[in-house]
Structure 1
Amino acid sequence: MKVDKGIEMLEISANVMGKPGIIYPTLIWSNDEVVLIDAGFPDQIALFRDAFKKAGVPFNKLKIIILTHQDIDHIGSLLSIQTELPNVKVLAHEEEKAYIQGDKSPIKVAQLEARLNSLSPEGKAIYEKLKAGFQNCKAKIDKTLMGQEELPYCGGITVIYTPGHTPGHICLYHKQSKTLISGDLLSIEEGRLIKTPSFVDFDNDLAKNSLKKLIQYDIEKVICYHGGLFKDKTNTRIAELTGNK
């Protein structure tokens, strides 16, 4: 779905929390650069190729992948893309690098592992599947990012450090189009923009504080990885979510 000139919200079919659903990675491009934000679940590279084609962008022109955080539905096809396009550079916040590269156990795996003895058989099966999934998709990060960093791609992209969902979660703000790519800080439920539920956060208090950082930006549109596009009085809605309105 076209969001603005040079911005496409990709629609990738996926099994989300055991149900058929859609995830929404973001594609941003200019004459010289093609940037993908987040890389889906494992084994979705063919779906990404199709989504690029639908957007009118050659898949082999991809130059940069920016990861909002470490979760498997955001990094799952990264290694496959790197294998097919070895010149692609991958960027993520410095706090996420060790998890994505496999030097640290991913947060979701570690949380389940800490409760392993009390998990139901179904919970233990989820743990084993998740652990194997991460093991098979760990991948190299080429450059680490910091909050407030200004990336020069496609007219300028600002890195907003928004920890809480994970320790190094980031949102990205595309200045020219006033578009926020929210990762998993925000989502859409029944057409309303909401803060992602606290039960999926690493630190809910941190996530609430991170939300307040968005107030300083003039945001017209939000692309939520889970939920899609929101553009109804966006600044006002974000202020409401922070308790400032």
Structure 2
Amino acid sequence: MKIIELPIEFEFNGQKNCIYPSLFISNNDELTLVDTGYANFLPLIENEIIKNGYEMKQLKNVIVTHYDDDHIGSLYDFKVKYPQINIIASEIESTYISGEIKSERLVQAEDMLENLPKKELEFGIWFVQQLRKLKHVAVDEKVNDGDMILDSKCKIIATPGHTSGHITLYFPSLKSVITGDAAVKNHDDLIIANPHFCLDIKQAEQSLNKIKNLKVKYIYCYHGGKLTL
């Protein structure tokens, strides 16, 4: 039983970037992927999983930490190609992922368009279009704060702020936590991801402190990578 990070390198606006989806491997070698990257990232993630010696037929679950295009962009593609996977998300985020309710991130982005300076307007319009193009998919397993999943190896921790239904994954026996965007690695510290995009900055600060107070050794950040304490 272990967690590995899957570094996915890509270019965005002419700059090199990297995100770090996480992969949990159970004692019977079943795989659980945490977050799916942008749209069309499925082949990149597949390559990383295979490079680490696993087969895609071992993929049992995909957990979504929250509804942002860099975290759920390829979720629909995963479900189409691997229909056996069990999609897990918080009860709040599941309503956006399934399309029952317009996502709060899209509402925020549309509202921000009205006040964006001209130099940022082009990007703002592009971002709204990206969110509108995301394909909806049903969530198979809806979770809440304190729930134990993955054969009770993982505890769901509600970490709202970045989005209202954001979850963090705590693995007590591995002394590890997967943070999504509730915490970002910055050198040897943890900070809030994109504070100006947080839907509730006070909640985001509380969630960051909650993560920092966990008794863990390994912190897997989607942005910045693994932090070893």
The SS at the match of 1:118 is: coil
List structure 1 runs of 4+ shifted beyond 6 angstroms: none
The SS at the match of 1:223 is: strand
Cα offsets for 1:78-125 (capped at 9, x unmatched): 111111001111010011112112232323321121133333455443
Alpha-carbon shift at residue 229 of structure 1 (Å) = 0.8
Matching of residue 220 in structure 1 with residue 212 in structure 2: no
Match of 1:193 among 190, 194, 198: 190
Pair 188,205 (structure 1): closer, same or farther in 2 beyond 3 Å: same
The SS at the match of 2:184 is: strand
Q: 2 CA distance for matches of 1:115 and 1:186?
A: 24
Pair 146,105 (structure 1): closer, same or farther in 2 beyond 3 Å: same
Matching of residue 29 in structure 1 with residue 32 in structure 2: no
On the 8 A contact 2:147/2:156 being kept in 1, the answer is yes
Letter in 1 for 2:8: I
**2:75 — aligned with what?**
78
**1:10 — aligned with what?**
6
On the 8 A contact 2:8/2:44 being kept in 1, the answer is yes
Matching of residue 43 in structure 1 with residue 40 in structure 2: yes
Alpha-carbon shift at residue 17 of structure 1 (Å) = 7.2
Gaps of 5+ in 2: none
The SS at the match of 1:126 is: helix
Q: 1 CA distance for matches of 2:15 and 2:197?
A: 17
The SS at the match of 2:174 is: coil
Question: Which deviates more from structure 2 when the two are superposed, residues 167-176 or residues 192-201?
Answer: 192-201
Cα offsets for 1:40-86 (capped at 9, x unmatched): 11101110110001111111211100111001100011111111001
**1:236 — aligned with what?**
none
Within-5 A mapping of 1:1-245: 5-15=1-11, 19-30=15-26, 31-121=28-118, 123-134=120-131, 135-153=133-151, 156-214=153-211, 217-232=214-229
On the 8 A contact 1:25/1:36 being kept in 2, the answer is yes
Q: 1 CA distance for matches of 2:97 and 2:184?
A: 23
Q: 1 CA distance for matches of 2:214 and 2:186?
A: 23
Alpha-carbon shift at residue 197 of structure 1 (Å) = 4.2
Pair 17,24 (structure 1): closer, same or farther in 2 beyond 3 Å: farther
Of all paired residues, the percent bearing the same amino acid is: 30
Query: Number of aligned pairs?
Result: 227
Alpha-carbon shift at residue 18 of structure 1 (Å) = 6.4
On the 8 A contact 2:109/2:128 being kept in 1, the answer is no
Question: Which deviates more from structure 2 when the two are superposed, residues 157-166 or residues 101-110?
Answer: 101-110
Q: 1 CA distance for matches of 2:52 and 2:14?
A: 28
On the 8 A contact 1:42/1:133 being kept in 2, the answer is no
